[in-house]
Amino acid sequence: MKQEIKKIVIVGAGNVAWNLAKKLQVKQCYARNLDRAKEVAIRANAQYINDYNDLVKDADLYIISVADNAIHEVSEQLSKHISKESIVVHTSGTMPMEVLSNKIDNIGVFYPLQTFTKGKEVSWGEIPLFVEGNSKEVEQIIFNLAEKHSENPIILSSEKRKEIHISAVLVCNFTNHLYALAQKRLQKNNISFELLKPLIRESVGKMLDYKGDISDLQTGPAIRGDNKTTNAHLALLEEDSNLKEIYKTLSNSIFNGKF
């Protein structure tokens, strides 16, 4: 096993692969669909393939960046085609390291905590890179790679990585859904969502600058225990049972939580 990772192959052609390929200057990209493999490969002038038999056999690192439920199968395929010396990692927030085939000696995780979109470059500097390895040696080698590409390389167990992923769902997926619900509700009332943007900018900005408990920043009717307003809102949401339930659940949590 080489102490420094130089030759990297990426498997997958999704948002994470598209972004990692360029950052890590991969040498080869595999995807089932050759056009999609090409889309990722051209980011690093890499070779693109759709047949495992064409895989570079002696890369230092193979990165599996595919849907969670496909990771195991892909790693089984890799195990048949690559050198025993190579390291294989996946990039998933939720899957344990051990989902990777036990026929591979050196396994690990390389999980960048960011929301990626094809076509949109992200600024890598501040993105935390969570790494894990199945031996101290492997872990150190992956960590060194992470350190080269992020100001925030962090060794983290699969268990803790799951906690990070749940939190990411809360602060990224769920907040996006609340924005979408508000936009939909306003559209029905012929009010532009643009009007809310200064408010969103200010309140998120305030939170990002804050160093203490974010619950200190809580405002609104629920934290004030202002039942008159929350009940008036619930009455307005009578026809919209989904939004009503969300409103009730979150208001109760704010009121009862009080941390």
Whether 55 contacts 35, CB under 8 Å: no
**Angle subtended by helix axes 34-41 and 15-24, to nearest 10:** 40
* Closest to its own copies by CB, 144 or 152: 152
Which residue blocks in 155-240 are alpha helix, DSSP H? Answer: 158-168, 175-188, 197-209, 221-224, 227-236
The footprint of its own copies on this chain (CB under 8 A) covers a number of residues equal to 84
Task: Please state, in angstroms and rounded to a whole number, the distance separating the CA atoms of residues 232 and 125.
Answer: 46
119 binds its own copies (CB under 8 A): no
Whether 30 contacts 55, CB under 8 Å: yes
Minimum distance from CB of 181 to its own copies (Å)? 6
Minimum distance from CB of 102 to its own copies (Å)? 20
247 binds its own copies (CB under 8 A): yes
* The binder of its own copies chosen from 167, 225, 238, 239 (CB under 8 A): 167
**Nearest Cα to 151, choosing from 129, 122, 178?**
129
164 binds its own copies (CB under 8 A): yes
* Closest to its own copies by CB, 55 or 113: 113
* Closest to its own copies by CB, 42 or 236: 236
CB atoms within 10 A of CB 100: 26
Instruction: Name, in order, each residue with C-beta under 8 angstroms of 37's C-beta and a sequence gap of 6 or more.
Output: 13, 29, 30, 31, 48, 49, 50
Minimum distance from CB of 115 to its own copies (Å)? 5
* The binder of its own copies chosen from 68, 121, 137, 147 (CB under 8 A): 68
Minimum distance from CB of 83 to its own copies (Å)? 31
Whether 129 contacts 29, CB under 8 Å: no
* Closest to its own copies by CB, 42 or 214: 214
Q: What token pair was written down for 141? A: 């080698």
* The binder of its own copies chosen from 77, 94, 144, 158 (CB under 8 A): 94
* The binder of its own copies chosen from 97, 120, 134, 141 (CB under 8 A): 120
Q: CB under 8 A: which stretch of 41-49, 51-59, 77-85, 234-242 binds its own copies?
A: 234-242
Residue 25 C-beta-side C-alpha neighbours within 13 Å: 6
Dihedral sign for Cα 45, 68, 89, 75, please.
negative
Dihedral sign for Cα 230, 233, 237, 238, please.
positive
193 binds its own copies (CB under 8 A): yes
155 binds its own copies (CB under 8 A): no
Minimum distance from CB of 157 to its own copies (Å)? 10
Minimum distance from CB of 246 to its own copies (Å)? 6
**Residues between 194 and 233 with contacts to its own copies, criterion CB under 8 A:** 195-204, 206-208, 213-215, 217-223, 226, 228-229, 232-233
147 binds its own copies (CB under 8 A): no
